[in-house]
Amino acid sequence: MAFEKKELKKKSDNVSDWYNDAIVKAEIADYGPVRGTMVIRPYGYAMWEQVQEIFNRMIKKNGVENAYFPMFIPMSFLQKEKEHVKGFAPELAVVTIGGGETLTEPLAVRPTSETIMYECFRKWIGSYRDLPLKINQWSNVVRWEKRTYLFLRTLEFLWQEGHTAHATHEEALSMVHTAREWYQHIYEDYLAVPVMMGKKSETEKFAGAVSTFAIETLMPDGKSLQSATSHDLGQNFAKSFDVTFQSKDKGLEFVWQTSWGLSTRALGGMFLAHGDDDGLIIPPMIASIQAVIIPIVKNDTDTEKLLSFTHSVEGMLQESDIRTKVDERDTISVGRKFNAWEVKGVPLRIEIGDKELESASLTVVLRDTHEKMTIAVKDAAKAITEECARMQKRLYEKQKQFLTDNTHDVTSWDEFKKIMETTKGYLRAFWCEDAECEKEIKDATKATTRCLPLDAPSESGVCIHCGKKATHRWIFAQSY
The binding site for a second copy (CB under 8 A) comprises 1-2, 30, 32-34, 37-42, 45-46, 48-49, 65-74, 77, 89-100, 106-107, 109, 116, 119-120, 123-124, 126, 129-130, 135, 139-140, 142, 144-146, 155-156, 158, 329, 331-332
Q: In the complex, what is the shortest distance from the CB of residue 335 to a second copy, in angstroms, rounded to a whole number?
A: 16
Cβ closest to a second copy, residue 30 vs residue 371: 30
Q: In the complex, what is the shortest distance from the CB of residue 133 to a second copy, in angstroms, rounded to a whole number?
A: 10
Q: What's the chain's length in residues?
A: 480
Q: Which residues contact 391 (CB under 8 A, 6 or more apart)?
A: 283, 284, 347, 348, 366, 367, 368
Residue 289: closest CA among 50, 39, 40, 29: 50
Q: In the complex, what is the shortest distance from the CB of residue 151 to a second copy, in angstroms, rounded to a whole number?
A: 12
Strand partners, 31: 38
3-state secondary structure 204-264: CCCCCCCEEEEEEEECCCCCEEEEEEEEEEECHHHHHHCCEEECCCCCEEECEEEEEEEEC
Cβ closest to a second copy, residue 2 vs residue 360: 2
Q: In the complex, what is the shortest distance from the CB of residue 460 to a second copy, in angstroms, rounded to a whole number?
A: 44
Q: Which residues contact 85 (CB under 8 A, 6 or more apart)?
A: 78, 79, 207
d(CA 453, CA 430): 12
**List of E strands, 265-390:** 291-295, 324-326, 348-352, 361-366, 372-376
Q: In the complex, what is the shortest distance from the CB of residue 1 to a second copy, in angstroms, rounded to a whole number?
A: 5
Cβ closest to a second copy, residue 63 vs residue 457: 63
Cβ closest to a second copy, residue 35 vs residue 418: 35
Query: For residue 36, which phi and psi values (nearest 5 degrees)?
Result: 85, 0
Count of CB atoms within 10 A of residue 376's CB? Answer: 11
d(CA 341, CA 275): 13
Q: In the complex, what is the shortest distance from the CB of residue 445 to a second copy, in angstroms, rounded to a whole number?
A: 27
Cβ closest to a second copy, residue 80 vs residue 349: 80
Strand partners, 476: 427, 449
Q: In the complex, what is the shortest distance from the CB of residue 17 to a second copy, in angstroms, rounded to a whole number?
A: 20
Cβ closest to a second copy, residue 140 vs residue 369: 140
Query: For residue 33, which phi and psi values (nearest 5 degrees)?
Result: -70, -30
Cβ closest to a second copy, residue 133 vs residue 192: 133
Count of CB atoms within 10 A of residue 423's CB? Answer: 12
Identify whether 284 is preceded by a cis peptide bond (ω within 30 of 0).
Answer: no
d(CA 145, CA 208): 20
d(CA 183, CA 195): 9
Cβ closest to a second copy, residue 240 vs residue 478: 240
Q: In the complex, what is the shortest distance from the CB of residue 457 to a second copy, in angstroms, rounded to a whole number?
A: 42
Q: In the complex, what is the shortest distance from the CB of residue 110 to a second copy, in angstroms, rounded to a whole number?
A: 10
Cβ closest to a second copy, residue 128 vs residue 309: 128
